[in-house]
């Protein structure tokens, strides 16, 4: 774990977060700057920088997808948007791959 990774510290319990879902492969917590009534971040427990790194680890990828499903089931979400940002130019500010699960309001397209 990189010593400066805030998401690794949240997963390790070193930084408090509002837990939404957890299993052996992923951890989900409420976003501190929500962009929708429901805004949850789902991260793999293993540190991977971004989506291309996640794609190189099929087990971690499957675990993250299962975590997203777990969040949807836990919160009883039938309609939700899942967003991955890869790179600072599109808004990734924490370089530990994570999915944003957004729900509770109409979503428009394109999102940008």
The CATH number assigned to the domain holding 56 equals 3.30.428.10
- Catalytic one of 25, 39, 96, 98: 98
Does residue 110 sit within a domain?
Answer: no
Q: Provide the domain count of the chain.
A: 1
The CA–CA distances, whole Å, from 13 to 9, 53, 67 equal: 6, 24, 18
- Strand, coil or helix: 40: strand
Between 1 and 20, whose confidence is greater?
A: 20
pLDDT at 68: 98
- For 86, what's the count of Cα atoms within 13 Å in the CB-facing half-sphere? 9
**Containing domain of residue 55, as a range?**
6-103
Does residue 111 sit within a domain?
Answer: no
- What are phi and psi for residue 102, nearest 5 degrees? -120, 140
CA–CA dist 23, 19 (Å, integer)? 11
**Could you confirm whether 25 is annotated as catalytic?**
no
Judged against a pLDDT cut of 70, whether residue 112 lies above it is answered with: no
pTM of the model: 0.95
CA–CA dist 96, 54 (Å, integer)? 10
Tens of pLDDT, residues 61-77: 999 999 999 999 999 99
Does residue 52 sit within a domain?
Answer: yes
Q: What is the mean pLDDT of residues 46-53?
A: 96
């Amino acid at each position: 774990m990189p010593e400066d990774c805030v998401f690794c510290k949240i997963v390790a319990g070193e930084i408090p977060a509002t837990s939404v879902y957890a299993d052996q492969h992923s951890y989900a917590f409420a976003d501190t700057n929500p962009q929708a009534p429901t805004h949850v971040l789902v991260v793999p427990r293993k540190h991977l920088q971004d989506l291309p790194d996640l794609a190189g680890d099929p087990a971690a990828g499957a675990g993250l997808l299962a975590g997203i499903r777990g969040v949807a089931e836990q919160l009883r979400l039938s309609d939700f948007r899942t967003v991955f940002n890869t790179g600072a130019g599109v808004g990734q500010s924490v370089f530990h791959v994570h999915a944003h699960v957004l729900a509770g309001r109409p979503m428009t397209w394109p999102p940008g």
